[in-house]
Structure 1
Amino acid sequence: MKRFFVLLAAVTLLHGAAVAQQKKPVAKKPAGKPATAMPAARLAAGKTVYTQNCLTCHMADGGGVEGMNPPLSKTTWVLGDKTRLVGVVLNGLQDQDIDGEPYRNVMPAQNQLTDQQIADVLTYVRNSFGNKASAVTPAEVKAARAANKK
C-alpha cells in the first residue's frame, strides 16, 4: 500500500510538471503606435485644408514652383521651428529665400483659417512629401496668433 501512495505521489508530481510545461506563455501586448504616428483623421483634415488653400501654389506633391513658390518637402522652414511656420500661415510671406533659394511669389496670409485648421494643415505638411516631424497643436497656433496681436 505504501508503494501505491509513493507511486501515486510520483505520478501526480509528473503530471503537474507536464501540465505546467504545456501552458502557453502569455503573449506580450503590442507596444502600440509609435509616438510619431499621426492620427489618420488629423492628416485627412489637414489634406482637405491643403487641397483648398495650398495646392494651387505648392502643388499636389508639395514641390512648389521654382523661383516662385517654395517646396514644402524637407525644408528647414517646414521641419524646423513650428512657431515660425505658424507665423508664415498667419502673416503670409514675401521675398524670402528658403534654404538659400529665392522665391518671389507672395504668399497671402491665411489667418481666416481656424486654429484647428492651421494645426491640421501644418501637421499634414510636416508629415507628407517625405517629411516626418511632430504635430502642430491648436494651442500652439492659438499662442502664435495671440503673440501676433501684440
Structure 2
Amino acid sequence: QLKALLAGLALELAQAIVRDGEGATKFITIRVENAASRAEARQVAYAVAHSPLVKTAFFASDPNLGRLLAAIGYSGLENFDTDKVRLWLDDVLVTENGGRAAGYTEEQGQAVMNRAEITVRIDLQRGRERATVYTCDLSHEYVSINADYRS
C-alpha cells in the first residue's frame, strides 16, 4: 500500500516537472509496447522523446509521421523490422505494415496534434515488454529562455 502510494506520488511529480518545462506548451506521453526487453522499449521511447525534430513537430502541431518513424529507426534496435511497427497518435492508428495506416487521414492526425496532451503509442511487435516516457514540445520560448542567460 505504501509502495503504491509513493510510486503514484513520484509519477505525479515526474509529470509535473515535464509540464513545467521551460517554454513547454504540450505534454507528451511516449508509450512503447511489445518490445523484446524493457531496455529496448526505453531505448525507443527516449529516442522519440529526445528528438528535437519530433519535439518541434509537436510544438507546430504538425502530424509529421516521418519524424516519429525516423526517431524510432535511429534508436539503434538490432534486427529491426519496420514493417511490424504500428504507431498511434492518441487513439488514431497512423502507421502499420511499413506505411501509413489505410484508414488514417491527415485531418485525424492534425486534430490530435492540436491537443495540449498527446499520447504516442508505438507497438514494436517484438516481445511483451513496455516502457513509458514523458516529454514536452520544443518551443520558441524554450530557445529564447536558454539563449538569453549564461550560467
Q: Structure 1-normalised TM-score?
A: 0.31
- More strand by proportion, 1 or 2? 2
Q: Structure 2-normalised TM-score?
A: 0.31
Larger radius of gyration: 1
